[in-house]
């Protein structure tokens, strides 16, 4: 119900409804807290696994964890060992649409790991790829984020701030968002160098997928500003005294 209301409010707003979703059925993590973990297989990023974990945590804090209308919090996980397939395999078994490679499933919610597969990274301009690769119905169970770790990769030549925004963009895919056509969005598909905060379309997207729930018992209600019943008694008493006072005053005038 909350998502329907949010979708309606977004449609009725003057802004365009632009964000897209990374899973066609609009899948999302059902948990409020999702851990971000690092696979220990990177060799050419110029940063240690612990350093990469720090970058990921900063990406979460600087971008996705700052949205008050979203229930989702991305938190620091751990550096974990991963199978060789995470470094060598294609992210999709078949493309268009991508059927996620079952050999890259895992139990780490969001897993950031390094990869050198030629079909994943046909050229060095592709910095990273992400797919929610374990989805049950509308629930994302886990997502895999692969960073291009080939020699000469672009990630290692980026500034720290750019690396953070690159990870934040890929984490956006991991939690269920696709690309946005809005150019100042983190989820715009290119020019990540200048992204240091979320745009309004990113905020709309994460709020749509992860609305803050406000449980209500029975029907929802709206307060029209009337006095609560407990204050009506004294008010009525005062009104009666005023009537009585006026009556006595007029009677005294006549007499
Ligand atoms: Zn992207």
Q: What is the mean pLDDT of residues 128-145?
A: 96
H-state helical runs in 13-77: 49-62
| pTM for this predicted structure | 0.79
CA of 170 to the centre of ligand 1 (A): 6
Which pLDDT score, from 0 to 100, does residue 134 have?
A: 95
Which pLDDT score, from 0 to 100, does residue 27 have?
A: 96
Among 28-42, 87-101, 216-230, the minimum mean pLDDT is found in 216-230
Which pLDDT score, from 0 to 100, does residue 39 have?
A: 98
Who wins on pLDDT, 178 or 218?
178
| Tokens found for residue 199 | 């745009």
- Residues facing residue 33 across a β-bridge: 73
The confidence band for 235, taking pLDDT boundaries of 50, 70 and 90, is: very low
CA of 85 to the centre of ligand 1 (A): 22
CA of 192 to the centre of ligand 1 (A): 10
CA of 178 to the centre of ligand 1 (A): 7
CA of 7 to the centre of ligand 1 (A): 23
Torsion of CA 33, 75, 143, 122, to 10 degrees: 160
Which pLDDT score, from 0 to 100, does residue 248 have?
A: 43
Is the pLDDT at 234 greater than 70, yes or no? no
CA of 49 to the centre of ligand 1 (A): 22
CA of 148 to the centre of ligand 1 (A): 14
Sorted by sequence, the CB contacts under 8 Å of residue 41 that are 6+ apart come out as: 82, 86, 87, 113, 114, 149
Which pLDDT score, from 0 to 100, does residue 197 have?
A: 94
Sorted by sequence, the CB contacts under 8 Å of residue 86 that are 6+ apart come out as: 39, 41, 104, 111, 113, 114, 115, 144, 146
Who wins on pLDDT, 40 or 3?
40
Average pLDDT, the chain: 85
CA of 30 to the centre of ligand 1 (A): 22
CA of 204 to the centre of ligand 1 (A): 17
CA of 242 to the centre of ligand 1 (A): 71
Domain 9-209 carries which CATH code?
Answer: 3.40.390.10
CA of 107 to the centre of ligand 1 (A): 23
CA of 254 to the centre of ligand 1 (A): 87
Tens digit of each residue's pLDDT (9 = 90 or more) over 160-170: 999 999 999 99
Which pLDDT score, from 0 to 100, does residue 190 have?
A: 79
């Amino acid at each position: 119900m909350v998502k329907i209301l949010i979708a309606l409010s977004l449609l009725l707003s003057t802004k365009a409804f632009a964000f897209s979703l990374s899973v066609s059925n609009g899948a999302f993590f059902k948990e409020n807290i999702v851990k971000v973990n690092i696979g220990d297989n990177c060799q050419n990023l110029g940063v240690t696994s612990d350093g990469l974990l720090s970058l990921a945590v900063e990406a979460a804090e600087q971008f996705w964890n700052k949205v008050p209308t979203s229930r989702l919090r991305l938190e620091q996980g751990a550096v974990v060992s991963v199978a060789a397939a995470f470094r060598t395999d294609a992210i999709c078994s078949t493309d268009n649409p991508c059927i996620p490679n079952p050999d890259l499933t895992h139990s780490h919610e969001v897993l950031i790991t390094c990869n050198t597969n030629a079909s994943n990274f046909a050229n060095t301009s592709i910095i990273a790829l992400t797919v929610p690769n374990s989805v049950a119905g509308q629930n994302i169970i886990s997502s895999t984020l692969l960073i291009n770790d080939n020699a000469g990769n672009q990630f290692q030549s980026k500034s720290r701030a750019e690396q953070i925004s690159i990870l934040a963009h890929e984490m956006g895919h991991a939690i269920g968002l696709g690309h946005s056509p809005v150019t100042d969005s983190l989820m715009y598909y290119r020019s990540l160098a200048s992204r240091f905060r979320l745009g309004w379309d990113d905020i709309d997207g994460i709020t749509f997928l992860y609305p803050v729930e406000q449980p209500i018992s029975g029907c929802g209600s709206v307060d029209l500003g009337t006095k609560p019943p407990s204050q009506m008694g004294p008010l009525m008493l005062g009104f009666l005294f005023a009537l009585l006072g006026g009556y006595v005053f007029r009677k005294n005038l006549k007499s």
